[in-house]
Amino acid sequence: MNEAAIENKGEIKQWNPKIIAFLCNWCSYAGADLAGVSRIQYPPTIRVVRVPCSGRINPFFIIKSLMDGWDGVVVSGCHPGDCHYISGNLVARRRFAILKDLLDFFGIEPERVQFMWASAAEGERFAVLIKKITKLMRKVGPNDRFKKKW
């Protein structure tokens, strides 16, 4: 049994956050795919939405996800300079910087919304970061403050 599996086994009784992951088609989605093909284990907390580019992510998506009750949001794109559309990820980075500061100001834990870069070759990095994010999210707990009450 490998390390990840042991870790997973120990986590069975733990609360698993539900994280929505917006992955860019060209790097991070392929990176996640590589993690899968290479059988690198990471916690089953993310649900993937494939988008053309991290620049496609409207802050609406992130806020709406939180309102819909997702415990966390991850956005992942190509490393700066590697964007398939030249500067989509750089535009996104500015947007996310402001969004993250604002969310923090509004009292939504900054840990809930995470941004990362992962290239198509970085399956390992992708798995490590998702593990890290899941850990952080467990610390923060479920998102019930911003979730729309029914």
Partner 1 sequence: MTDKILKKEEIEKFYLDLSRYFNFFAPTKENGNIVFKKITDPCEIIFDFLNSKVPPKEIVFPRMETLFTYKINGKEIEIEPVNNLNEKYLIFGIRPCDAYSFNLLENFFASGKFQDDIFIEKRKNTILIGMGCNTPRQTCFCTSLDHGGHPHRMDDVDIFLTDLGDKYLMRSISKMGKAIIDKLAWLSDAQRKDVAKAVELSKKAEELIKTKVDLENIAETLKPHFDHPLWKEISENCLGCGTCAFLCPTCTCFDVIDENDHYNNRGKRIRLWDTCQFCIYTTHASGHNPRKSKIERCRNRILHKFSYYPKNYGMLGCVGCGRCIQSCPVNNDLRVIIHKIKNLEKEKIEVKIIAT
Partner 2 sequence: MVILMGNIQEENKNIEHSMKEVAYNLLKNKEVDLIIGYAKGTIPLSSSPSFIINQKDVDNLIWDNLCHVNLARYVVPPITKIIDNENIPLKVGIVSKGCVGRSLIHLAKENQVNLENIKIIGISCNGIINRKRIEKELGEKEIIELSVMNSEIIAKGVDFVKTFFFDDYLNESCKKCKIKAPPMVSSQSNVIVGGSVESSSGEDDFSDLTEHESKTPEEKWQTIVELLSPCTRCYACREACPMCYCNLCFVDQNKPIWFGKTTDMSDIVSFHLVRAMHVAGRCVACGSCSSACPMGIDLTFITRKLEKIVKQRFDFTSGLSFDILPPMMTQKMNDKEDFMIGEH
Q: Which does 53 bind (CB under 5 to 8 A by kind): partner 2, partner 1, none?
A: none
Torsion of CA 73, 126, 35, 56, to 10 degrees: 50
The distance of closest approach from Cβ of residue 99 to partner 2 in the complex, given in angstroms and rounded to an integer, is 6
Pairing between strand 113-117 and 72-77? parallel
Q: What are phi and psi of 41, to 5 degrees?
A: -90, 140
Interface with partner 2, residue 46, by CB under 8 A: no
Distances (CA, A) of 146 to 54, 67, 125: 24, 6, 30
**Near partner 2 by CB under 8 A, which window of 17-25, 28-36, 38-46, 61-69?**
61-69
Interface with partner 2, residue 101, by CB under 8 A: yes
11/15 Cα distance (integer angstroms): 8
Q: Which residues bind partner 1 (CB under 8 A)?
A: 68-69, 150
String marking each residue 68-97 x if it binds partner 2 according to CB under 8 A: ------------xx-----x--xx-xxxxx
Q: Which does 81 bind (CB under 5 to 8 A by kind): partner 1, partner 2, none?
A: partner 2
